[in-house]
Amino acid sequence: MDQLMSEINKLTDNNQKVIGVEKDERKTFELYLKDDEMGNAAGTCNVGNCYNYGIRVERDLFKAFFYYQKSAELGDAAGTCNFGYCYELGISVETNIRKAHMYYQKAAKMGDTFALGRWGMLKE
């Protein structure tokens, strides 16, 4: 089942990247929601990204925070990093550098290079 969800998420991402094919951001968002409903952590993170950047939905930082938290709890490196970023910048939550550092460290250990950079900056 995890393999199936991973493949669905890849196909959803590819919906945004195919050259010569018109992007359908609404369909992509719907597929990310289905990923989330199936428990796919990467899909959950992508729903958060859609809300964070207002991609085919009205921008809603509270919903972005919610989906990043859920993705982090499901063990997604990017979601964990984004959750830490919310704490670092105070996005829909009170700024908490200690928590940001903790989530960056966790995401970095999962292989997220952006988190590794942010973690290193906060350590200094």
Q: What is the dihedral of CA 109, 9, 69, 26, to 10 degrees?
A: 140
Token pair for 10: 């890849």
> In order of start, what are the domains of the chain with their CATH numbers?
2-123 (1.25.40.10)
d(CA 92, CA 65): 6
d(CA 45, CA 33): 10
Instruction: Please give the distance of CA 89 from its chain centroid, rounded to a whole number.
Output: 16
pLDDT by residue for the chain (124 residues), tens only, comes to 455 555 555 555 554 554 454 566 778 899 999 999 999 999 999 999 999 999 989 999 999 999 999 999 999 999 999 999 999 999 999 999 999 999 999 999 999 999 988 887 777 6
